[in-house]
Structure 1
Amino acid sequence: MSDMPQEIHVDLGNDYAEIRDQVSKLCENFPGEYWRDLEKQPVEGSYPTEFINALTEAGYLAALIPEEYGGAGLPLRGGAVILETINAMGGVASAGHAQMYTMGTILRHGTPEQKQKYLPGIASGELRLQAFGVTEPTSGSDTTQIKTRAERSNDGYVINGQKVWTSRALHSDLMLLIARTTPLDQVEKRHHGISTFLIDLREAKQNGCTINPIEAMINHNTCEVFFDNVLVPADALIGEEGKGFRYILDGMNAERCLTASEGIGNGRYFLRRASEYAREREVFGRPIGKNQGIQFPLAQAHAELEAADLMVRKATAMFEAGLPCGAEANMARLLSAEAAWKAAEACFTTFGGFAFASEYDIERKWRDARLGRIAPISPNLILSFIAQHVLGLPKSY
């Protein structure tokens, strides 16, 4: 019996009913029409600036920043509730979510001077930290193969390379960037030699950095970013040189939990809209909600969503308790995305042909739910992680 894994018991924590209510009221000022109108704009002008400003002024994007730096000092669960509620109300929480998990790298690994320099400005909204430069065209999910280089110079570091699918880069003052400071062929392990930088994009754009928006199926304001001999000061380095991959992984568990909560919010949106419509819509002299062909998929989606929500809550509680939670955070991300997609499909079927009409907002949110099964992490990577690190199976890749 001594070889059996020990059970971990954690308090699932506060569910923040008051914050849910307040965020819901804020979101009522940004109905479906607001989000639809943004999608009609050119990609450069499609960012929900007014919504992000309202969240910032209310202090919600500073929820996880400690009080000593001007934030609310809430635990991760508080941030998750905010993002979940935004999506449950029909909004798009991803427009502001990166600030919640990117600032954690500064908080956990930055110097006191870096924390004081950046965190108060991020908390107040004076500085926007919404860009996370990780993915590259040739490396994809294999972050250890990134080719962007940061080479030492007398004045700091010179950066060359390219990032892609870097959302919100055109609407961010700062970017958390990872780059190789030691070539891959000169390190013992492939995740060594990667460093983390906090780049001031306002200066970089005048110094060799080019940002181009990407037209995409969904309005996530994503971009490709080019670095051509961009000089950044030495104090742009976060933590120790060459250990940035570990810092990023540290923050990934928070990212998994927060984006998983968005999936829960999407699922709740779909089930609420579908249930309302199924009660009201009459065909053949009866509401379609009486038909088991409508009822059962919605009920199944609800059950799976509630189960996924419990995993999200467990993962966030373990994160806050300082416990290893890589498996739980990844499972939360996987299960929430699948449950949200199940709810999206059931909702789409319930609305029938009207689901295709933009004015109902179902197709817009349906696209958002589909993205959750691709980004920010491939479900296959999650499954391989679980297989290797939980089940003890051989490493697949």
Structure 2
Amino acid sequence: MSYNPHNEELDAIREGVRGLCRNFDAAYWRKVDETKGFPEAFVNALTEAGWLAAMIPEEFGGAGLGLAEASVILEEVNRCGGNSGTVHGQMYNMFTLLRHGSPEQKQTFLPKIAAGELRLQSMGVTEPTTGTDTTKIKTTAVRKGDKYYINGQKVWISRIQHSDLMILLARTTPLAEVARKTEGMSIFLIDLKYAMENGMRVQPIANMVNHETNELFFDNLEIPASCLIGEEGKGFRYILDGLNAERTLIAAECIGDGRWFIEKATNYARDREVFGRPIGKNQGVQFPIAQAHIDIEAADLMRWRACYEYDNGLPAGASANMAKYLAAEASWKAANVCLQTHGGFGFACEYDVERKFRETRLYQVAPISTNLILAYIAEHILELPRSF
């Protein structure tokens, strides 16, 4: 019950993405990191080549591919030394619109997203006082006639400055008035340019990985009722569809990072000579690299299981969470091994290890922390008492 990761179609995708990434070498990504910039040229090239429209159905101008193919695209970007964190939002944010949007919403937005005329890179869920306790969100959307009025605050919301649209989760029925805490939340498709001119304030958050992220403040933002996706009050369930895809895609990115670290460490250990011999001849150097390789390969198997389940309409929550956990752990171990293998040179920006080291560390924390995944598995798979 899995995909063959080396079939002709997937291999063709790998070669295509690698070919594009050759135009964006280490020096390009180093410069973006140094200047705290956004890789606009790279994102445009990936869009124009159709890779970011991979999962949009053909009837709307996309390629109609599945999660498996999308995961390969993001994996290869990271494996080539790039950072998929600048584009991955469009992949997994798409699921909410694809699965729950109205025919009119799909027809209006999907062709423009596929053509690169619009970007759907942002999702507004997390809040400062609730974190991963999503059911406690305080941002509200109150309906009055054919309008909703949004008030509240979001944090760690990515790529607002380089996106046209955002998926927003807000509470439409007070928590005290619902039978289950997962009820009463709704999702909206927000026009960001309009929002920033009519009641949404954006405060960028400087951070260690040059990940464009922000705090958002809503003050009576008025939006048309047509911005609602699906039925009012069912937004939490809708969001979960996208989150399982998100976790699987992040796993693929981590696997790409891990393979980059392992290749970088292996090449350096093979070439670097100390005491008249390559350092890779020493078991103290080669064994940690070998172990990192094993961990990445094991995580990759769970990634393919999650892709298979998702693409075939099977429950994918457990596999998606486990894939993200295993891949994030494996990529972080590979990063440490790579840095240790390079010694002092691992801290030099020109080797790119320290940049990728910082980037892959993020996935221990986001988009879901490793501890929350463990809590999910304990409760839902092992049937242990809920811990929170």
Query: TM-score, normalising length from structure 1?
Result: 0.96
Alignment partner, residue 5 of structure 1: none
Q: For 1:370 and 1:165, how far apart are their aligned partners in 2?
A: 16
Alignment-mate amino acid for residue 177 of structure 1: L
- Please list the CA deviations of residues 42-84 of structure 1 after superposition, one character each: whole Å capped at 9, or x if unmatched: x5xx111110000000000000101100001111100000000
- Please list the CA deviations of residues 11-39 of structure 1 after superposition, one character each: whole Å capped at 9, or x if unmatched: 45646111111111111111121112122
Alignment-mate amino acid for residue 126 of structure 1: E
Q: Paired residue for 1:151, among 136, 142, 147?
A: 142
Alignment partner, residue 270 of structure 1: 261
Alignment-mate amino acid for residue 34 of structure 2: K
Alignment partner, residue 122 of structure 1: 113
Q: Paired residue for 2:75, among 50, 75, 84?
A: 84
Alignment-mate amino acid for residue 77 of structure 1: A
Alignment partner, residue 23 of structure 2: 29
* Closer/same/farther in 2, CA of residues 11 and 77 from structure 1, 3 Å limit: closer
Q: Paired residue for 2:45, among 33, 45, 54?
A: 54
Shift of 1:154: 2.4
Q: For 2:25 and 2:279, how far apart are their aligned partners in 1?
A: 26
Contact 1:256 1:332 in 2 (8 A): yes
Shift of 1:104: 1.1
Alignment-mate amino acid for residue 26 of structure 1: L
Q: Does 2:320 align with 1:329?
A: yes
Q: For 2:97 and 2:39, how far apart are their aligned partners in 1?
A: 25
Q: For 1:216 and 1:264, how far apart are their aligned partners in 2?
A: 23
Contact 1:193 1:242 in 2 (8 A): yes
Structure 1 counterpart SS, 2:156: coil
Q: Which runs of 4+ in 1 moved over 6 A?
A: none
1:273-352 to 2 correspondence within 5 Å?
273-352=264-343
Structure 2 counterpart SS, 1:16: helix
Contact 2:379 2:385 in 1 (8 A): yes
Shift of 1:155: 3.5
Q: Which moved more, 1:61-70 or 1:147-156?
A: 147-156
Alignment partner, residue 188 of structure 2: 197
CA root-mean-square deviation: 1.0
Alignment partner, residue 222 of structure 1: 213
- Please list the CA deviations of residues 277-331 of structure 1 after superposition, one character each: whole Å capped at 9, or x if unmatched: 1111001011111011110000000011100000000110111111111111100
Structure 2 counterpart SS, 1:376: coil
Alignment partner, residue 110 of structure 1: 101
Q: For 1:217 and 1:207, how far apart are their aligned partners in 2?
A: 31
Alignment-mate amino acid for residue 328 of structure 1: S
Contact 2:53 2:114 in 1 (8 A): yes
1:129-140 to 2 correspondence within 5 Å?
129-140=120-131
Q: Does 2:85 align with 1:94?
A: yes
Contact 2:186 2:228 in 1 (8 A): yes
Query: TM-score, normalising length from structure 2?
Result: 0.98
Q: Does 2:23 align with 1:40?
A: no
Q: Which runs of 5+ in 2 are unaligned?
A: none
Q: For 1:338 and 1:12, how far apart are their aligned partners in 2?
A: 23
Structure 2 counterpart SS, 1:106: helix
Structure 2 counterpart SS, 1:165: strand
Alignment partner, residue 368 of structure 1: 359
Q: Which runs of 5+ in 1 are unaligned?
A: 1-8
Structure 2 counterpart SS, 1:210: strand
Contact 1:12 1:314 in 2 (8 A): no
Alignment partner, residue 241 of structure 1: 232
Q: Paired residue for 2:13, among 8, 14, 19?
A: 19
Shift of 1:40: 2.6
Q: How many residues align?
A: 386
Q: Does 2:175 align with 1:184?
A: yes
